[in-house]
Structure 1
Amino acid sequence: MLDKVNSVFDRNISRLPSTTIRYDHKFVLPFEHSLDHVGITYYMQTYWHLTVYLGIFYLLSMKWLQKWMESRKPFNLKGALICWNGGLAIFSILGALRTSEEFIHTVTKEGFYPSLCQCFDPPSVSGHWFLFFGISKIVELGDTVFLVLKKKPLSFLHSWHHFSVLIYTFHSGSEYLAAGRWFMWMNFIAHSLMYSYFTIMAMGFKVSKSFARIVTIVQILQMIIGVSVSFAILTIKKYFELPCQQSNANLYLSFVIYTSYMILFINFFIQAYCISRPKKEKSS
């Protein structure tokens, strides 16, 4: 079994352009160095496709839950929402802080091309956080449960984003996506703001609409950069014919999802903040 795992790991490493970018963090937390990255690699590459079934189950179960809630009153989930969003906010902030060090070093010291095409060292701090990041995409499916139980509108943007990012993240993890450092870092930044905003709202505090607008702008910028990164990698692979740690399948998938996110978030921004809606007249 161990030989099989090691052979899978070796085949994966052999697909790297030269070597991984090895960066030593200034300090390492107890949970950032103890995982079996060889075993995780094997299971990621063997079972990532199960997230497709999980995603389908997620969509169907949320439809069923919406149907179940039709004859029921919205649940009062204030305490649970504070804990849920607060926990995800803390996780995202910590993830942003812990991955920023390697990301900034790679972009500024190693260069733009290595940051796109050479993966971080799997046993490193960033390697651990990529796994945590993937697991968080499963956890975040719970966002939809809260929306449905509170009988809030469930948009296509919300469902599509949760469904597709889950599958794409695990597919990326199965091949040590080098550009994953970009996608992961940007997502941690955006979610740090978003879940902090949700936490404050859940606590009952009034938040300026400007802050909500800023959160959406950051999300749009994330998607624009995601499309740009994908285009840069396509240019590197097809025009310059340089090696890059991203399969064509994953690259095309990134184009599809980031372009769709960009369009949907821009549309959301226009609908929410740019179109003035007539105020409802008060009945006398």
Structure 2
Amino acid sequence: MANIVREIKEIGSHAVDIYDFLLAGMDKRVTQYPLMHNPFPMSAILIGYLFFVLYLGPSIMAKRKAFQLKEAMIAYNLMLVALSVFIVYEFLMSGWATTYTWRCDPVDTSDSPEALRMVRVAWLFWFSKIIELMDTVFFVLRKKHGQITFLHIFHHSFMPWTWWWGICLAPGGMGSFHAMVNSTVHIIMYFYYGLSAAGPRFQKFLWWKKYMTAIQLTQFVLISLHATQYYFMDSCNYQFPTILTLIWIYGTFFFFLFSNFWFQAYVKGKRLPKQDVKSCQNGTAVYTNDKHLENNNSATNGSARHENGSAHTGKMKKA
């Protein structure tokens, strides 16, 4: 027992040493931004998020009707489209379209306007991940429990936590490539969600839902390939190769998770309602998360009216 206690103390001591080492290596230019002094506020937000979406939210909504939230969702999604456009522009102007080579690009640790601009957009990208936690909150309030998958929750909680450490240590350089690509994808993704939330009249513009996952998969391929090139360079002065390794692992891991989603949803058809599976097999599917529920409601109402009409006709015949 004494040996076990001693080992636990040693592990705890090593963990504290690693934590102190990481904090000592933090980029001082980042600490002036909100939630960046230490990881505890950020961790508390993510723990609260998990508690709400996994337990508190479903418990509150169990005996309540689902909220519609149409106007709020349209505004939210369009706001994220605008924010993502701004983030991509700032990444480009901070180096990717000006001084970066798109190969070996170290972090600029100076206080030049361009370097400080990169620090700012790196933080803004991280903060956008905190805002995007509302995705799941909307699912809970609208009782879309089928959308709250392991992939969704893991992506929304793991990404902000890891990126916090990323911008604390390396705000910029070749490690920021995946942030710029991710923001580009989010322009398309949240534009789709905004149209979807607008209602049935926009259904004809949503034929490309299936390709959203393909766009996500392309994103992870680009991220992994960009990180991989570091290991084939004769020399590269990027200061944080460990971060590139983590980015490569991240891109590859999520590629397989999203590939499984693609296979389950569009090959096996498990995530589509029956009528949409048949349409998809015929190559004519138009499916959205919001629209399919409306279609089902309309079909139910239509069937009820048809049954009522048939019953009424039968009574007339008997009369």
> TM-score normalised to the size of structure 2?
0.66
Matching residue within 169, 173, 184 for 1:175: 169
The alignment status of 1:189 with 2:184, answered yes or no, reads: yes
The alignment status of 1:74 with 2:66, answered yes or no, reads: yes
Bigger radius of gyration: 2
Task: Provide the C-alpha distance between the structure 2 equivalents of 1:189 and 1:206, rounded to a whole number of angstroms.
Answer: 23
Equivalent position of 1:58 in the other structure: 49
Equivalent position of 1:258 in the other structure: 251
Q: Is the 8 A contact 1:89 1:195 kept in 2?
A: yes
Count of matched residue pairs: 246
Once structures 1 and 2 are overlaid, which stretch shifts more, 153-162 or 55-64? 55-64
Q: Is the 8 A contact 1:78 1:202 kept in 2?
A: yes
The alignment status of 1:112 with 2:107, answered yes or no, reads: no
The alignment status of 1:159 with 2:158, answered yes or no, reads: no
Q: Is the 8 A contact 2:87 2:121 kept in 1?
A: yes
Give how far 1:229 is off: 3.0
Q: Is the 8 A contact 1:134 1:170 kept in 2?
A: yes
Task: Provide the C-alpha distance between the structure 2 equivalents of 1:196 and 1:159, rounded to a whole number of angstroms.
Answer: 21
Equivalent position of 2:8 in the other structure: none
The alignment status of 1:219 with 2:216, answered yes or no, reads: yes
Q: Is the 8 A contact 1:119 1:179 kept in 2?
A: no
RMSD of equivalent CA atoms: 3.2
List structure 1 segments (4+ residues) > 6 angstroms apart after TM superposition: 8-11, 281-284
Task: Provide the C-alpha distance between the structure 1 equivalents of 2:264 and 2:82, rounded to a whole number of angstroms.
Answer: 30
Counterpart secondary structure, 1:105:
coil
Task: Provide the C-alpha distance between the structure 2 equivalents of 1:229 and 1:94, rounded to a whole number of angstroms.
Answer: 23
The alignment status of 1:128 with 2:120, answered yes or no, reads: yes
Equivalent position of 2:14 in the other structure: none
Q: Is the 8 A contact 1:201 1:207 kept in 2?
A: no
Q: Is the 8 A contact 2:129 2:160 kept in 1?
A: yes
Output the amino acid matched with 2:104: Y
**Identity of matched residues, %:** 26
List runs of 5+ in structure 1 lacking aligned partners: 1-7, 14-35
List runs of 5+ in structure 2 lacking aligned partners: 1-21, 279-298, 308-319
Counterpart secondary structure, 2:104:
helix
Give how far 1:210 is off: 4.2
Task: Provide the C-alpha distance between the structure 2 equivalents of 1:216 and 1:208, rounded to a whole number of angstroms.
Answer: 17
Matching residue within 67, 90, 93 for 1:98: 90
